[in-house]
Structure 1
Amino acid sequence: MKFTAVISTLLVASAAAFAPATTERASTSLSMDRRAAMGAIAAAGVVALPQMASADGAISKATVQRSRYNYGSRIMDLKDAVAAGDFGAVAAEKNAFILFNSGAYPGAKNKGKKAAAIAGTNAIFAAIRSKDKGALKSAFDAYVNENGIASLAASVDSTKGQGYSTDFDYRVRTKQAAIYVR
């Protein structure tokens, strides 16, 4: 009996606290025109949104190194195909040239080097279009020399050493990726 009396008292008190006032009602109309209201909403939206992501290409020594290694090794693997005059093999690796150019020379300070690398790539693919083996070989050799692309070790023996230590290493999933496991 006491329990129901306490509950009913609490219900009446809470209902009275949340009941609307019987005196004057406040006006719900806006005191501004539509243009001003939309401007206020847009301004509030801009302030409320988090800062937009600004992708700068993550320019760092590690990303340049990863690009030079991964795509440079793919380009150097074409050396035998270029010597044999296999235009299809070189054309199939077009993306390696594009990704090397954009990754090895990031940012505004490397603009000239990147333009030279793109010109070298264009010379290689012009030789492919004209089916000129001599021009392909000379353009490829010039591209490799100008961009400092070197042959890398064939592979790392996991019994004699370790090629990488984490999945964030640039050698992961390459022929130099070896982890020493006991």
Structure 2
Amino acid sequence: MKFSLALVAAFAASANAFAPAPVERASTSLAMDRRTAATQIATTAAVLSGLPSLALADGARSAATESRARGIYGQRIAALENAVNAGDFGAVASEKNAFILFNSGAISDKAKKAAAVKGTNEIFAAIRAKDAGALKSAYAAYKKANDIKLTAVDKDAGQGYSSDYDFKARSSLGSIYVR
């Protein structure tokens, strides 16, 4: 520790010895020279680059964001029908995040959201208890209460989505008719 402090002190002394002598300049409107300004700008840039970037999300909710959450996560939940009927607890448990994200993004009414969370808790209580009958009934009640259905798109009937914000974009449900 002492050696490194002595080394820093020696370096600072030698740097001052080779620095050019200050030159008298005519007074300008700015009280600093270019070297000082560049040093201050570089120091400010270094400090700002070290700060974490600020989150700019405003948490806005709209019909479009709810529709997108309902489409994306509702499809994942609806696709669990075969796993629930087969009693595959692991497949349902692996989609826990779909239930959480559906509850938080697709439902804006507080009472409906509380009921959806309660339904999710019933589903996962049945999984923990390894009760296939309770899982089937809780899953069916959750789907019915939240109006969750698999969406099927007939690719021969027309275009599957119209914008990149549509939940069917970049999925097997989305198709663009190209002649």
Q: Same fold (TM over 0.5)?
A: yes
* Match of residue 156 from structure 1: 154
Letter in 1 for 2:174: A
**1:86-106 Cα distance to aligned partner (Å, 9 max, x none):** 101101111110010000123
Letter in 1 for 2:122: A
Q: For residues 74 and 116 of structure 1, what CA distance do their matches in structure 2 show? A: 19
Give the unaligned 5+ runs of structure 2: 1-24, 29-53
1:53 offset after TM fit, Å? Answer: 6.6
Please state if 1:165 is matched with 2:162. Answer: yes
**1:136-178 Cα distance to aligned partner (Å, 9 max, x none):** 001101111111112321x432x54111122222211222200
Q: For residues 56 and 174 of structure 2, what CA distance do their matches in structure 1 show? A: 32
In the alignment, is the contact (CA less than 8 A) between 2:74 and 2:102 conserved in 1?
yes
**What is the TM-score with the length of structure 2 in the denominator?**
0.67
Q: For residues 83 and 55 of structure 2, what CA distance do their matches in structure 1 show? A: 42
* Match of residue 26 from structure 1: none
Give the unaligned 5+ runs of structure 1: 1-17, 22-51
* Match of residue 181 from structure 1: 178
Counterpart selection for 2:85 from 83, 86, 109 = 83
Pair 1:54–1:20, CA change in 2 (3 A): closer
Pair 1:113–1:56, CA change in 2 (3 A): farther
* Match of residue 19 from structure 1: 26
**What is the TM-score with the length of structure 1 in the denominator?**
0.65
RMSD: 2.1
In the alignment, is the contact (CA less than 8 A) between 1:85 and 1:133 conserved in 2?
yes
In the alignment, is the contact (CA less than 8 A) between 1:127 and 1:133 conserved in 2?
yes
Q: For residues 69 and 57 of structure 2, what CA distance do their matches in structure 1 show? A: 17
Which entry has the higher C-alpha Rg, 1 or 2? 1
**1:39-89 Cα distance to aligned partner (Å, 9 max, x none):** xxxxxxxxxxxxx87644220000101111111111010011101101011
Counterpart selection for 1:61 from 60, 63, 69 = 63
Aligned length: 131
Letter in 2 for 1:165: S
